Amino acid sequence: MPINQKNAHQLGQDIAKGVLSAHEVTQFFIDRIKKHNPALNAVVAERFDDALKDADKADAARQSGQTLGPLHGVPMTIKDAFEVDGLSCDVGAPQFAGTVSTSDSHVTARLKAAGAIILGKTNTPFMCGDWQSFNDIHGTTNNPYNLDHTPGGSSGGSAAALAAGLTPLEYGSDIGGSIRVPAHFCGLFGHKPTHGLVPTNGHVPPTHGALASRDLNVVGPLARSVDDLELAFDLTLGLLRPASQAMQISLQGPRFTRPEGLRIGLWADDPYCPVDSEMASNIEAAARTLEKQGASVVRIKPDFDLAHHTETFIILLSSIMGADFPAPVHQSLQAMIDDADSDDKSLRMMQARGVRLLHKDWLYWDEVRAQMAAKWRALFEQVDVLFCPVTPTPAMPHTQDADFHGRAFSVNSAPRNYMENVVWPGVSTLCGLPSTVAPLARHSSGLPMGMQIIGPAYEDKTPIAVARMLEQNGHHFQPPAGYDD
């Protein structure tokens, strides 16, 4: 099997056994980046010479009988948002341009400790704040399935590089769909962990060297196989000191490892945020695939209104995203709020109110979130996982000619507000639930599609296991044309 068709765990095994050398594998991916990255613009910072030196050290270790870990000598790229000692970390923000990290993020350190070799960094939107990956420093990243379309955001460079075979593994972050949207747009597996299971230290934003973690934000892997996805998740799972000195996280196994007895909830569409009809049909078809093997399927959703859930999510999300907005933006948003009707529930007004949220009001919305979390717990007494969309459509064409509220896209030939891309990712983010993205069949446009498999809080192994069931039944990664060499 050619190197570019091997998954990360297979490469680690081959290198550790001496079937392949870390040097030849690292050089292979360096050559692929040099060949294909000009069209994709996915990799925006590199350490090729140092990576080859690291590979030689990995080969020397193997020859002396040492195994560095399950990713022994495996080269990989990583999202620009993670600090990597010696590499720039600017997340497309002019104020961070040229900033070179002097330490590793938690995720970087854990992956290196498992034997991984960092080749370079992959592109993001400005401050990781979009469902497309473009910025004034590094430009636009293209989707390898159709260069006129986005690979998603904010882990768009990660997904484009992974799908095109420029790297065997990637790691991203997610606050509004930033792992799940790129996985969906590029036909990959992705996992948004339960909030707090994987430390976010060393992630930018908020800023370089920040120690406090931000609400809602999580970090998690993207992969071309479920085995790689789970491996990367397991390697980075854990606590930071001093907590790690007193206790360790040990997740229980999945509720089911086979379809027999699995209870699947199906929420494939909703009038509040309509979904492309092909996508909705394919989400249901995935559920029916497992139903034929003994799973039960029921149409169900949590006992809350999606519009109210979205309002809660946007307000809490915007209170975080707006923390770094300059003073003039805050002033203009406050003026907008003052002039608006109190019952204005437009997406623009929800965002403005969230940015200007007072702490006393945050406490109110946090209680609303807690009430919704209780309704999720009640749902997971009736089903084991919930299948639902990631976004309303497959990957959008590049849309950069207006701000969020001036952009539009089409769902079933009807125009919709670009901000609606936040609705379905928010379904699992607001209450910190784990969500695994699995590929579906190709859309008639030729673009990939994926769906969310949402599980109960802290039961991350269950949606991952269901993704593996689907992978074993044909829902696997299908590489884009033109990247076979």
Q: Using omega within 30 degrees of 0 as the cis cutoff, is the peptide bond preceding 125 cis?
A: no
Q: Do 227 and 366 share a domain, yes or no?
A: no
Q: Examine residue 121 and state whether it is found in any structural domain, yes or no.
A: yes
Mean pLDDT over 63-91 rounds to: 97
Query: Can you read off the two tokens belonging to residue 339?
Result: 């002039």
Q: In what order do the strands lie in the sheet with 263-266?
A: 170-174, 218-223, 189-192, 435-439, 450-454, 385-388, 263-266, 296-299
pLDDT band at 477 (very low <50, low <70, confident <90, very high): very high
Domain boundary among 345, 371, 397: 371
Residue 352 to residue 336: CA distance in whole angstroms:
8
Q: Examine residue 337 and state whether it is found in any structural domain, yes or no.
A: yes
Q: Do 248 and 329 share a domain, yes or no?
A: no
Name, in order, each residue with C-beta under 8 angstroms of 468's C-beta and a sequence gap of 6 or more.
226, 227, 230
Q: Examine residue 71 and state whether it is found in any structural domain, yes or no.
A: yes
Q: What is the greatest pairwise CA distance in the chain?
A: 72
Q: For the chain, what percent of residues have pLDDT higher than 90?
A: 86
Cβ–Cβ < 8 Å for 233, 220:
yes
pLDDT one-digit tens code per residue, 352-362: 888 888 999 99
Q: Do 244 and 353 share a domain, yes or no?
A: no
Q: Do 252 and 319 share a domain, yes or no?
A: no
319: left (phi over 0), alpha (psi -120 to 50) or beta: alpha
pLDDT one-digit tens code per residue, 248-265: 889 999 999 999 999 999
pLDDT one-digit tens code per residue, 275-319: 999 999 999 999 999 999 999 999 999 999 999 999 999 999 999
pLDDT band at 336 (very low <50, low <70, confident <90, very high): confident
Q: Examine residue 75 and state whether it is found in any structural domain, yes or no.
A: yes
Count of domains for the chain:
2
The model's pTM? 0.96
Q: Do 76 and 8 share a domain, yes or no?
A: yes
Cβ–Cβ < 8 Å for 469, 387:
no
Query: Can you read off the two tokens belonging to residue 391?
Result: 């976004």
What CATH number should be reported for the domain holding residue 41? 3.90.1300.10
Angle value at C-alpha 446, between 442 and 449, nearest 5 degrees:
40
Q: Do 331 and 218 share a domain, yes or no?
A: no
Write out the residue range of the structural domain in which residue 349 sits.
Answer: 306-371
Domain boundary among 352, 371, 390: 371
Q: Do 79 and 189 share a domain, yes or no?
A: yes
Q: Examine residue 294 and state whether it is found in any structural domain, yes or no.
A: no
Tell me which DSSP letter residue 168 carries. S
Q: Do 188 and 326 share a domain, yes or no?
A: no
Q: Do 223 and 324 share a domain, yes or no?
A: no
Q: Examine residue 395 and state whether it is found in any structural domain, yes or no.
A: no
Name, in order, each residue with C-beta under 8 angstroms of 130's C-beta and a sequence gap of 6 or more.
153, 154, 404
Q: Do 86 and 147 share a domain, yes or no?
A: yes
Q: Examine residue 249 and state whether it is found in any structural domain, yes or no.
A: yes
Q: Do 245 and 318 share a domain, yes or no?
A: no
Q: Do 253 and 353 share a domain, yes or no?
A: no
Q: Examine residue 275 and state whether it is found in any structural domain, yes or no.
A: no
